[in-house]
Amino acid sequence: MNALLAGLTLLIIGDSHVTFKDSLLSVLPDEFTKQGAKVVTYGVCSSTAADWVVPNPNMKPASPPPISSLIEKWHPNVVMVVLGDTMAAYGQNAMSKDWVDEQVKTLTYAIGKTACIWVGPTWGQFSPRYGKTDQRATEMATFLKGEVAPCTYVDGTALLKQGSVNTIDGIHATPDSYKVWGDAIVQATLPELEKLKDAPPAAAQ
C-alpha cells in the first residue's frame, strides 16, 4: 500500500463536529491514518476560534487547550481547523463580521508558520433550537474564504449539495451525513496534505 501521507503529523482542532462518535471524529482521523499520517484530534463543543488561543474561563467542563501548547507538544506539519458554525450567530438578525474577523485572525496568528487548512461549515437544516439557515451558512462560508489566509480554505458548502445534509438537531449531522461530509473533506484535502507532508514540522516556539 502506498501511504500517501507517511511522515505527516496532522493536528485537527474543532467544535462539536469533531467531538463525538459518528461525527467527523469517526471519519477524518481514521481516513488520514489509513493514508499513513499520524493524527491527533481535539474537539470542544461550542468553541470559537479565539477560545483555542485564550482560555475561556466560562466554558464548562473546560475550555480548549491553547493551540500554542498543542503545536509545541505534537510538532504537527499541518493544523486542520474545523470551525464556523459556532461563530455564525444562527438565530440572530446579523452576524458580526468584525467579531468573526477578530476570532479568525487571533487563531491564524497563533498557528503562525505552521501550515494549516481551515474547513468551513456545511449545510444544515432549520430548527428552532439553533436557527441555522442555508442563507447564513452561505454568508459564513463566503466570509471565511476571505479571512482564513494563510490557511488553505475548504468551503464545506461547496463540498455537498444544498439540502443533502440530514441532521439530528439542525446543526449536527446524522452519522450517514457526517460520513459523506467527512469523505468529501478527505478528498478535498488529500492533495494539499500530500504537498505539505514535506513541510517542516512546527518548531517549538
The domains of the chain, with CATH numbers, are 9-196 (3.40.50.1110)
Question: Which residue from 62, 58, 78 is spatially nearest to 70, judged by alpha carbons?
Answer: 78
3-state SS of 8-35? CEEEEEECHHHCCCCCHHHCHHHHHHHC
pLDDT of residue 198 exceeding 80, the answer is no
Under 8 Å between Cβ of 125 and 165: yes
Q: How far apart are CA 205 and CA 68, in angstroms?
A: 8
Task: Give 169-197 pLDDT, tens digit per residue.
Answer: 999 999 999 999 999 999 999 999 998 88
Strand segments (E) across 122-188: 152-154
Q: Which band of pLDDT confidence, cut at 50, 70 and 90, is reported for residue 57?
A: confident
Average pLDDT, the chain: 93
**φ, ψ (nearest 5 deg) of residue 42:** -130, 125
pLDDT of residue 56 exceeding 90, the answer is no
Cβ neighbours of residue 77 closer than 8 Å, sequence gap 6 or more: 8, 9, 10, 114, 115, 196, 197, 199, 200, 201, 202
Q: What is the pLDDT of residue 181?
A: 97
Q: How far apart are CA 113 and CA 110, in angstroms?
A: 9
Q: What percent of the chain has pLDDT over 70?
A: 96
Q: What is the pLDDT of residue 200?
A: 67
**Mean pLDDT value across residues 126-144:** 94
Cβ neighbours of residue 71 closer than 8 Å, sequence gap 6 or more: 11, 79, 111, 112, 114, 202, 205
Q: What is the pLDDT of residue 205?
A: 37
Task: Give 83-103 pLDDT, tens digit per residue.
Answer: 999 999 999 999 999 999 999
* Residue 89 CB neighbours (<10 A): 16
Q: What percent of the chain has pLDDT over 90?
A: 87
Question: How many CA atoms lie within 13 Å of 53's alpha carbon, on the beta-carbon side?
Answer: 15
**Mean pLDDT value across residues 151-179:** 96
**φ, ψ (nearest 5 deg) of residue 32:** -70, -30
Q: How far apart are CA 35 and CA 186, in angstroms?
A: 10
